[in-house]
A = this chain, B = another copy of it.
Amino acid sequence: MCDACGICGERRDLQLAGAGDITQVEAQIRQVVTGVLREVEMYGVNGLKERRAQIPVGVSARHVHVCQEDLEKLFGPGYMLTKERDLLQPGEFASKELVTLVGPDGKTMSRVRILGPLRSRTQVELARTDGIALGIKNLPMRRSGELRGAAPITLIGPRGSVYLPEAAMRSNRHIHMGPRDAERFGVKQNDVVQLRLGGQEGVTFHNVQIRIHETWKLVAHLDTDDANAAGIVCDLQAELIK
């Protein structure tokens, strides 16, 4: 399980190697070596020590945030989320609760995890690939919480379902950081920067939003489409470019 975002492991099939599984061990070593080579490629051997604008990447798999009202419709009156594990940011957690998503033509996607704590409004964060699988044409990209124009979607839980006319979206690329990191990088709330990933499948992502909060730890959040395009997994370092 990945520790950076805490939710990607299920999607990207990362697993700790069993002691006897040499293929797994090899794959993990290859991943570490690839990461180092990417950085050497980008900065040179001598440049590695002087990197300043390095951001760890967390890959966000599809997930759901729910409000109390929708949680009760899905899981029953008075229901509360059960913590499965903590996420990187203080207070945030992956819950044990899973829902099924249903798209406009009845295509379904099961076992999508709810992340806590509860929010004021339910929001379904998908990659564009997930949207296509659900039959959602042109999944809109939105900043978290800005759901005007988001796609309609149905959530199904063990005790009921809920239809949401504006809830499904592709989350915009963003970097979480605290005030001290913001000062170090010379950026402020809602600045738009670029994020460069090296290697054979290297990509520079544009339109990456800076999000600052007192308690946040430094992490760039990309969805699984961006991660798979760039051929990366969690914990790789990306370069912030202003």
A12 at the interface (CB under 8 A from B): yes
A81 proximal to B (CB < 8 A): no
- Does A210 interact with chain B (Cβ within 8 Å)? no
How many protomers of this protein does the assembly include?
2
A204 and B201 form a contact (CB under 8 A): no
Name A137's contact: one of B13, B137, B203, B207 (CB within 8 Å): B13
> Quick check: is A229 within 8 A (CB to CB) of the other chain?
yes
Question: Which A residues between 109 and 149 are near B, CB-CB below 8 angstroms?
Answer: 127-129, 132, 135, 137-138, 141
What are the residues of chain B within 8 A of A205 when measuring CB–CB? 202-203, 229
A198 proximity list for chain B (CB < 8 A): 206
Within the complex, what minimum Cβ distance (angstroms) separates A26 from chain B?
Answer: 10
Are A201 and B132 touching (Cβ within 8 A)?
no
Give Cα A204 to B198, complex, Å.
Answer: 12
Q: List residues of A (28-47) whose CB comes within 8 Å of B's CBs.
A: 30-31
CB < 8 Å neighbour of A202 from B12, B207, B229: B207
Q: With A200-B207, A207-B200 in contact, is A231–B141 under 8 Å at CB?
A: yes
A228 CB-CB contact with B under 8 Å: yes
Decide if A228 touches B231 in the complex (CB within 8 Å): no
Interface string of A170-204 (1 = CB under 8 A from B): 10100000000000000000000000001011111
Our pick among B27, B129, B206, B230 for the contact of A228 (Cβ within 8 Å) is: B129
A226 within 8 A of B: yes
Provide the bound-state CA to CA distance between A200 and B208, in Å. 10
* Selected A-B contacts with CB under 8 Å, 20 pairs: A13-B132, A13-B137, A127-B228, A128-B228, A129-B129, A129-B224, A129-B228, A141-B201, A141-B231, A170-B201, A170-B231, A202-B207, A203-B203, A203-B204, A203-B206, A203-B229, A204-B204, A225-B225, A225-B229, A226-B229
